[in-house]
Structure 1
Amino acid sequence: MSLLPLLLVVIYGLCLLFILCFSGGQWQLTRLALRAYAAPPLPRPPVPAAWPRVTVQLPLYNEQNVVERVIDAAAALDYPPELLHIQVLDDSTDATVALAAERVAYHIARGRRLSHVRRPSREGYKAGALRHGLAASDGEFIAIFDADFVPAPDFLRRTIPFFLQDENIGVVQTRWGHLNQAESLLTRLQAFGLDAHFLIEQVGRTFAGFFINFNGTGGVWRRRCIANAGGWHTDTLTEDLDLSYRAQLRGWRFVYRPEIVVPAELPAAMDALKSQQFRWTKGGAETARKHLGALWRSAQPLVVKLQGTFHLLNSSVYVVILLMALLSVPLVFVREHYPEYKLVFRLASVFLVGFAPLVYYYYTAWRLAWPTGKARFYPGFFLLFLSVSMGLALHNARAVALGWLGQRTPFVRTPKAGPGGRGPRRYRTGGVGPWEVLEGLLALYFGFGFGAGLYFGDAGLLPFHLLLTVGFAAICYYSGRHAR
């Protein structure tokens, strides 16, 4: 028995086992979310006799396409003006500065309390800006909105009362909506994936008492919670996930309210999507590296530790997917030329049922997002979503590897086009480079694996290779198209 084919089979089998465990976690969260939705709705907290002071922070960096919209939305919040302070945390180096200054002055003249905060440097990126603004604020509660978010006027009146019924609540997080979901296939695919996170994962984790995360925007912090957890750190690209785990490890409770929706703009171009994905996946790996040990040393129940581990390792699944994909092509030849492994491959096929919970997870999310059936669930659309997600495996696996290795990289903003998608896209995050070329070569590589399966009459890996070929080809195509 040759050692190399055996090694390929063993590593591939371990990857399948990881996917099975990951999918099992998603199945558990889906069941928990459905139980949460079936439970009697919690009563709305009473309107307080006296409202507390609130600071709204708007971190900005070169957001000329959306800066006026987010400042106007914050200024339109229905809250006692004498208790509301809006901080425009502006690290911009372009026309955003003048646009922000004009809108701040406009609302100040109409009785609103706003501050246009400019730092001497962009040190610490978003986390540094939030920390800098916090030192100059007096709010007992801190609401945060990224530049592309548009909170409704009643946002604070719907979220602040939750804090006032329990002093141990540190965060109230709300659900993201989508301003431009229908703009393109790319935005529809993103909305599909984000809905699963906000309608299943966050709901299921909250219902079971697992750790959840502040999503970086569209939520409110208790100031005392931020301070007690150590404040905003700048050593990861996901300062939100980092502070969330530090706070919950210190005993703070997080509340998630899916019925409160804050619409936001989805990245409409591949370079923008990739910059966002890089931050999320690399930051997730950095946070896992930072907190996994503390999580397992804590006094949390075992089930909380297990779910927290999969939560922190969410982004690392891309490394496993990429490794599986790369190994799958030589395995076509192993299956053909080493008949002694046929039983092993038959046993391994059992692990493919690990993908079934993912179908259940995403189908349930779609049903919750469209309860009236206004949008039909197309199996082809779901397969395309899986395919494009696989196509991002190289890009995201690289980000995860950099995160686990502790290599520092800058915080690259996600370009936003603004209302109607008509704003100038002058903020490039990168064009076609060697990694995009490699994605194209991988599309050919998996196409070769698909052809080899057809040639040998072996259908076992044909669906996998077809999804990979389409996914990597789509990522390569959009990268080139949007670089123009």
Structure 2
Amino acid sequence: MFLLQVVLVGLYGLCLLLLLGFSLTQWHLTRLARRAYARLAEDAPPAPPQWPRLTVQLPLYNEQYVVERLIDACTALRYPTHRLHLQILDDSTDETVALVAARVAYYQAQGLRIDHVRRPERTGFKAGALAHGLTLTDGELVAIFDADFVPEPDFLERTVPHFFRDEPNGSRTGVVQTRWGHLNEEFSLLTTLQAFGLNAHFYVEQVGRQQGGHFLNFNGTGGIWRRACIEDAGSWSADTLTEDLDLSYRAQLRGWQFRYLPQVAAPAELPATMDALKSQQFRWTKGAAETARKHLGRVWRSSQPLSTRLHATFHLLNSCVFVAILVMAVLSVPLVFVRAVGAEELRPVFWLAAFFLLALVPLTFYFRTAWQQARQHRQPPGPGFAGQLLLFLAFSMGLSLHNSRAVLLGLIGRSTAFIRTPKLGLLQGPGAWRGRRYRTSRLLSGLTWLEGLLAAYFLFGIGAGLYLHEYGLLPTHLLLATGYGLVFFYSLRHAE
């Protein structure tokens, strides 16, 4: 019995140490980001003497609710017409095809160079579509927008000159990435919490990595690639679910530089239903694990500074945090009873639980910095910080079962299909997602019911702690019960 207690406490402690390491990494990125913001200015470089040939690629798959909005926004981009080429990379199997054909014909009649590209098979999914499109264009630069994006007319004018900043020939700048804006942040609690988490990535992580000279990542959309960079790095590959992260690491390991512009936003729609969010989360977390499996060894064999290799390791393995959260969560309820039965020799070890609260200190600094930056771009400023932070932490914990499965599948190399995130064109109006259902999988799977059972499990942990007067794990169980409860509630609600 004593050995079992030691194993439980030991595993719990290892998970907490991993979380603390992740938290400290985010704290360091926050310090770097704050240093960058202290001297960040809108000092846009001058326009190049001659604007390069630029292709705008729009990869689509069954996007009937947003495709016309996307095409209209991209045709309004200001750029020399004779240097611009729009490619609609349409793998759709529904009425999207007819909608695209009509919009393309309309703009072709106005003299725009815009093509409707259809492949006989959806080989390679998004990566395959992007690679195929490159064979049909002469663009030197390639801008990419997913179907839910609505770029501002001045997007290209504000981004393209950065390829030539401090480099007359722009020879080693491979990517210019911009920040994502949110078209429907206030649609629901679900979208508000997503925006809160994404803002931390775009306002802190990307800025901090750039300031420290560490590896960045193209975010799949809302950015521009130099064609020579894509080709030199080996082009797009579909052997991971995050083709953007994969190509980003291949390019930077080849010596290409990435530029990130937090001052330029590319507005986009957040997933408004739980099945859409889970689809996106599965792809991101599994893809990151697959990319880590593919490139982590190369990163450590490279000549990059030790700090860059360490940051790249946490970057590629950050989805493993969900596994640590899940293991820690499942073990936490038995630990209430281990404490209660009076294992005095182990009692000092239980102070490890304090590391969980300690890990929240740098994370609070991290999210607070992102929230402050985001407030400057919102009118009105939005809801308070403390409530959003606690709900976001709880919600992230509630996704740990779903995301842990994705991470483990990625680490062991299990192949799964690329399931795109449904875009429903929802900007306001509760319940408006009804009638626009695009099912990516069974809405109520066995995993969903297990999430409901875990919510009950952590409620039991709360009750046990109160009954036994063991309060050390009470905050953890409150967050876990809230998070799994929210995930289970939205899964049921959006299955209607």
TM-score normalised by structure 2 residue count = 0.96
Q: How does 1:90-105 map to 2 (within 5 A)?
A: 90-105=90-105
CA pair 347-58 structure 1, distance change in 2 beyond 3 A: closer
Structure 1: runs of 5 or more not aligned: none
Distance 1:461 1:348, change over 3 A: closer
SS at match of 2:282: helix
Greater shift, 367-376 or 269-278, is seen at: 367-376
Query: Match of 1:444?
Result: 456
The aligned residue for residue 395 of structure 2 is 388
1:238-277 equivalences in 2 (<5 Å):
238-277=242-281
Equivalent residue letter for 1:480: L
Partner of 2:491: 479
Aligned residue type for 1:222: R
Indicate conservation of the 8 Å contact 2:63/2:96, yes or no: yes
Task: Tell me the alpha carbon deviations over residues 30-81 of structure 1, each in whole angstroms, 9 at most, x when there is no partner.
Answer: 1100000002537321112211100000000000000001111111111111
Contact 2:30/2:205, CA 8 A, preserved across alignment: yes
What displacement does 1:469 show? Answer: 0.6
Distance in 2, matches of 1:378 and 1:301, equals 36
Q: Tell me, what secondary structure is at the counterpart of 2:157? A: helix
**C-alpha displacement at 1:433, in angstroms?**
1.2
Deviations 1:310-341 (A, max 9, x none): 00011111011001001111111111112221
Could you tell me which runs of 5 or more consecutive residues in structure 2 were left unpaired when the two chains were aligned.
none
Residue aligning to 2:235: 231
Report the secondary structure of 2:87's partner residue: strand
Instruction: State the SS of the aligned residue for 1:199.
Output: helix
The answer (yes or no) to whether the contact 2:178–2:222 under 8 Å persists in 1 is yes
Quick one: which of 465, 468, 472 aligns to 2:480?
468
Aligned length: 484
The 3 A distance-change label for structure 1 pair 440 and 298 is same
The 5 A counterparts of 1:10-49 are: 10-39=10-39, 41=41, 43-49=43-49
Name the structure 2 match of 1:61.
Answer: 61
Distance in 2 between residues matched to 1:107 and 1:300, nearest whole Å: 47
CA contact (8 A) 2:17 2:355 kept: no
Equivalent residues of 2:42, 2:263 under 8 A apart: no
Counterpart-to-counterpart distance in 1, 2:94 and 2:437: 11
Q: Cα 1:452–1:419, aligned 2, differ >3 Å: closer, same or farther?
A: closer
The amino acid across from 2:444 in the alignment is V
CA contact (8 A) 1:285 1:313 kept: yes
Q: 1:64 and 1:246 mapped to 2: Cα distance? A: 34
Inter-CA distance 56–461: structure 2 relative to 1 (3 Å threshold): same
In 1: Cα distance, 2:438 partner to 2:110 partner: 33
Tell me, in whole angstroms, the C-alpha distance in 2 between the residues paired with 1:419 and 1:320.
Answer: 34
Distance 2:264 2:351 in 1: 47
Q: Is the 8 A contact 2:57 2:130 kept in 1?
A: yes
Pairing of 1:55-94 with structure 2 (within 5 A): 55-94=55-94
Partner of 1:341: 346
Matching residue's letter, 2:118:
R
Instruction: Name the SS of the counterpart of 1:324 in structure 2.
Output: helix
Partner Cα separation in structure 2 for residue 419 and residue 465 of structure 1: 34
Which residue identity is paired with 1:367? Q
Aligned to 1:300: 304
Query: What letter corresponds to residue 141 of structure 1 in structure 2?
Result: L
Q: Does 1:359 align with 2:364?
A: yes
Whether the 8 Å CA contact 2:59–2:90 is kept in 1: the answer is yes
- The 8 Å contact of residues 363 and 377 in structure 1, kept in 2 or not, is answered as no
Q: Distance in 1 between matches of 2:277 and 2:352?
A: 38
CA distance in 1: counterparts of 2:8 and 2:124, whole angstroms: 43
Structure 1: distance between partners of 2:196 and 2:279: 19
Structure 2 residue corresponding to 1:429, chosen from 440, 460, 470: 440
Identity %: 63
Task: Give the equivalent residue in structure 1 for 2:408.
Answer: 401
Q: Tell me the secondary structure at the aligned position of residue 183 of structure 1.
A: coil
Determine the C-alpha separation between the residues in 1 that align with 2:355 and 2:487.
Answer: 30
Corresponding position: 1:369 with 2:374: yes
The answer on whether the counterparts of 2:174 and 2:229 sit within 8 Å (CA) in structure 1 is yes
Describe the SS at the equivalent of 2:62: coil
Q: Which amino acid aligns with 1:416?
A: K
Counterpart secondary structure, 2:265? strand
**1: distance between equivalents of 2:43 and 2:491?**
47
Provide the secondary structure at the position in 1 that maps to 2:186. helix
Are 2:269 and 2:427, in contact at CA under 8 Å, matched by a contact in 1? no
Q: How does 1:44-193 map to 2 (within 5 A)?
A: 44-165=44-165, 166=167, 167-193=171-197
Contact 2:336–2:473, Cα closer than 8 Å, also in 1: yes
Whole-Å separation in 2 of the counterparts to 1:81 and 1:152: 17
**For residues 456 and 11 of structure 1, do their structure 2 counterparts lie closer, same or farther at Cα, with a shift above 3 Å needed?**
same
User: Which residue identity lines up with residue 225 of structure 2 in the other structure?
Assistant: W
Q: 1:23 to 1:420 in 2, by over 3 A?
A: closer
Q: Distance in 2 between matches of 1:40 and 1:13?
A: 40
* Cα distance between partner residues in 2 of 1:124 and 1:445: 41
Q: CA deviation at 1:190?
A: 0.4
